[in-house]
Amino acid sequence: MNNNATTTHLPPNQSLDTDSSAQESPMTNDVLKNSELLDDNQPALDEQLHDDASSEEVLLPDGDADDIDDGDIDDSDDDEPSVSGPAVPVAIELTHTVTEDQSGLRIDKVASLAFKDFSRVQIQGWITDGSLLYNGSVQKPKVRVKADDVLHLSTTLEQHSEDQPENIDIDVVYEDDDVLVINKPVGMVVHPGAGNQTGTLVNALLYHYPQQHHLPRAGLVHRIDKDTSGLLLIGKTKPAQMALMEQLKDKSVYRHYQCVVAGDKASLTRHRHIDAPIGRHRNQRTKMTVMTAGREAITHLLKVTPLNGNYCLLDVGLETGRTHQIRVHLSHITYPIVGDRVYGGRRQLRAGLTEVQRQTINNFPRQALHAYTLGFVHPTTGEDMEVTTPLPEDMQQLIAVLSDGYDAE
């Protein structure tokens, strides 16, 4: 687990005041809880990733698609579905002790309640073929159970998937029996797609958490673009994944981002709330743009911290979730994110730069955007959770160069 990351259990309806150099008190939950929904129902997934996704997207395994948030999804990752790979055997070993309130129910009913990741038809088949034992013996599905009886499921599933396990290191920020939060590094694609069949976060998850193989996209709830760093939320069981996706849909999940932009504090402060609809560019289909016919998109600049007279560090929250929303909105108001080759262009270079600063900006290899705070309601305990992780080293170095010699006073 990342020792620099912070996980906080919050009282109901209360956000954590994370005090970094670029942060101020978080927005109220009505603003913070941004949803970013991605349909993970193949083959509709790949089209949905383009139409409703943002840099982070929600993957809905059963086709419950909606909006998604932020601003840096790599559309090229999802241009076409992958071809299914060979069957992968996944061993299942689960045990459940019957509770008092389950006493008197049928074996198949209790097993369905206990082993929620599987259908009742699967469970009935396992009871019949002896894969699911009742107190160590094979019984019929209709047998009634008693408190403290034991159900044990031992079977192997053959999972056909294009996503194969790979031994790739991952940075686990938070983990329990139901939820996993990963700090994704720059350069890692979240899930396999056209041109990115291997080396993705999903491939890594399937290696370190083989039980995730039966979950859509290995339990992913949303995603961020290859060149954006930061926190990703993952369900470890199907009920947890579905519950978290519902939270994204009803905006009870929130995320904060930090980014370095070309713009002065006074000008950026006049744009604390950017309300401009976003749609797909008519000619460049991998790009998004502000357009009258687009979908509602609202971005909040929570805090503006000057690095020098013409560059600032922003703390950003999303009220809506559109593809590339942060990047498009900041470019639209003429203050693009440093390193954004798609939406930034020459406007990244402002007056008054030293030669070192100019070269640092020119050479920065990716959009300087990081998802540093993730808040959600725990799908099992109901606790308000907030996880934070610091800025990556490349952004810290960029900030140090841009603020060198600057006196805010």
Dist. CA 201–CA 302, nearest whole Å = 30
Q: How long a stretch of residues is the chain?
A: 409
Per-residue exposure over 304-318, b if at least 16 CB sit within 10 Å of its own CB, e if not:
bbbbbebbbbbbbbb
Q: 222, 225, 174, 200: which is closest to 383 by C-alpha?
A: 174
Phi and psi torsions of 219, nearest 5°: 95, 0
DSSP letters, 179-220, are EEEEEEPTT--SS-BTTB-SSSHHHHHHHH-GGGGGSGGGGB
E strand or H helix at 50? helix 44-52
Which residue type is seen at 258?
Answer: Q
What H or E segment, with its residue span, contains residue 308? strand 298-308
Q: Is 225 a catalytic residue?
A: yes
Residue 211, CB half-sphere, CA atoms under 13 Å: how many? Answer: 13
Catalytic residue among 75, 225, 227, 384: 225
Spatial separation of the C-alpha atoms in residues 215 and 236, rounded to whole Å = 8
**Closest alpha carbon to 5 in 171, 169, 227, 168:** 171
Q: What is the DSSP letter of 173?
A: E
Task: Please give the positions annotated as active site.
Answer: 225
